[in-house]
Structure 1
Amino acid sequence: MLFAARTHVDRVVMEAFAEAVDEMDEGPAKELMDQVCSLYALASIEEDRAWFLEHGRLNTTRSRAVTAQVNTLCQQLRPHVSTLVDALGIPDGLITAPIAQV
């Protein structure tokens, strides 16, 4: 039941996110948000890939491709981490982990 609820929320968030990106003016901000949107979708699939594999919705080759694409998107978004964190309004005091330091 919890899996179904979380999956439903993921779908609703993904649809709203994709719609908001589609409505943005063309430019670097839209391109960046499109990458973030793709990362959100693929990371959700990756997180639940066992279910997708078990139910024949994904094969092992595509499962590996999803993970590879998640890793690629993370690498591509790395230079924009400060911009993304600033856009979320996260206070500096909460960003204390060594990995968060640019």
Structure 2
Amino acid sequence: MILLSDMNISEYDKRQISLMKETLSLFQSGEVSLKKLIDNLEGLLFCLQSVDIEWKNSFHEYWFVLEQIYAVALFRNETIYPDDPDLLDALSHLNKLLSK
């Protein structure tokens, strides 16, 4: 896995990454919905300019898991539980990608 600490990241991208971390933290504390998390992470990911494409692809892969969980639950009119193993796994990987 490529680490952010191995990249030369612009100040602009550092701010976007900080917002990504903050949004994940807010979701995990129950302050924002999964939909808000998905939307915010997607928007911030597409704003990144100096981050390695391999890192972006990895991040997108785990972001997409969140999108799939949300879409399936919405389609089936089901509740998404915070202890869902797929959700927890995706969040764990996203947190790892955002750590240095």
Q: TM-score range by the shorter chain?
A: 0.3 to 0.5
Structure (1 or 2) with the larger CA radius of gyration: 1
For CA contacts below 8 A with separation 6 or more, give which structure has more relative contact order.
Answer: 2
What TM-score does the superposition give when structure 2 sets the normalisation length?
0.40
**Could you say which structure has the higher helix fraction?**
1
